[in-house]
Each structure stands twice: as C-alpha cells, then as structure tokens.
Amino acid sequence: MARILLAPGFWLGAWAWDEVAEHLRGLGDEVTALTLPGLDPDDPDRLSATLETQARAIVAAAGESAVLVSHSGAGAAAYMATDLAPEVFSRAIYADTAPMPDGFVLNPALGDAVDFPLPQTWEEVEAAGNSLAGLDDAQLARFRERAVSVPAGVAGRPISLSDSAARLKVPTTLICTSYPSELVQQLRDAGEPPLFRELRNIDAEYLDLPTGHWPMWSKPIELADLIHEAAQR
C-alpha cells in the first residue's frame, strides 16, 4: 500500500508510535518508526544532534520514496528533510504540527542550556500549549519514564531552509488535533503565530481529529486511519 515513516516529537522515540504503526501494518502499509538523532538515551553523543542531522536521518530512512509523518517538534526536521530531498517524499503529513518557516526556533527561551528536558509537572506542559486531553495516568507515567531531553541543537536553533521552492510542491496534509482546522487556517492567513506562516505558500489539505497534542496515544486507531487514507492520495 504505502511506505510510511513516523517521526515522533520532543522527548520521544520510535516507541511512541507503537499502536499507530501496528494498525497501519494491519492495513497493509510498510511502516518505519524513527528515533531521531539526539533522542536515543543510549547514544553517548546524542547532545551533539542538530536539526540538520535529524533531517538528514529522515532523508536516509526515506530511501527512494516515502510518506513522511511528523508530530509536534519533529515537524521542523521533517520540513527540512523535504527541503533537502523533496523528490523522495510522496506526501508530508503533519500531526498537530506544521511546516515551519526559515529562521523559526522551536524553543527560543532555551538560552545557553545544553538540552530541553520534559517539564517537571504536567501543568507546565499544558501551560506551554500542549494539551493532554485523552491521556490516562498510565500513559502519562510511561511518557514520564521514557522521556529523553531534547538537545539544544534541535530545540534552540533556527530552522534553515534553502531558496528552492521544490519543497512547497510536496503534497501536504495537516491533521489538526489540539486546534481545529478552521482556526489553524485563520492563524495561517494572519501570519501569527509564525508556526503556521509557511502554510500560506503550500496548498495543504486540512483534516480534523479532535483530541490533545499526543493523538498517537489518545486516538491511535483514528490517527492511523487518517494517515493511511492520506497516504493513498
């Protein structure tokens, strides 16, 4: 059916996609879930990872053709990957994230810190705009136990894109979970916040999946179905 790459957001490894990947494989898709550079707790050099090394790892995993699905902070490296090698991606799907403009910094408040750990309380996580809707105590406990801090070269450095317009032609789907698609398009048109500004240059498809910021846990089957359907287009 489709060859699908799954890139998880901040603090997460390939394990975060387990339920989604299982369902996609049951639908006949070939699925690879990625642990991006910098997020493998067993890598002694992980804090040297950058957005560019993450983007190049995604391109390498794509091979000759793949549908790229990114979540949250992985949207930055994913979009950079489509800039580096637009020809290898048959579609880019963004789950509660978006293709971000050149110069955008995921965490501009990071300062001189070497990494960005998961905040100490869930209240802090939600205060940063990351809805925990749909997650139970067991899921939150697993998240806390397995979370890996994000290197500063990923969380605190600007996205760098080329002058090529080729990435803008990669078929693009947004799966809107924390915010309804109508609001995302309003923010896109307003140009604020900058997170959605690049979408003004892309003829994207917008799909709604009302839940929180981690739909791979709160609604894994529904998310997998949307990914599978979008991958066929």
The domain limits of the chain are 3-231
Residues 6 or more apart whose Cβ sits within 8 Å of residue 89: 62, 65, 66, 67, 68, 81, 82, 170
Structure confidence by residue, pLDDT tens digits, 169-178: 999 999 999 9
Q: Is residue 193 pLDDT above 90, yes or no?
A: no
* Torsion sign over Cα 6, 12, 14, 19: negative
Q: Which residues face 7 on adjacent strands?
A: 70
Q: Is residue 192 pLDDT above 90, yes or no?
A: no
* pLDDT score, position 28: 97
Structure confidence by residue, pLDDT tens digits, 21-66: 999 999 999 999 999 999 999 999 999 999 999 999 999 999 999 9
Structure confidence by residue, pLDDT tens digits, 74-112: 999 999 999 999 999 999 999 999 999 999 999 999 989
- Two tokens, residue 194: 């900058």
Q: Which CATH architecture has domain 3-231?
A: 3-Layer(aba) Sandwich (3.40)
Residue pair 35/99 in contact (Cβ under 8 Å)? The answer is: no
Tally the residues of the chain.
233
The proportion of the chain whose per-residue pLDDT surpasses 70, expressed as a percent, equals: 100
Q: Is residue 1 pLDDT above 90, yes or no?
A: no
Residues 6 or more apart whose Cβ sits within 8 Å of residue 228: 1, 2, 24, 27, 29
Structure confidence by residue, pLDDT tens digits, 120-149: 999 999 999 999 999 999 999 999 999 999
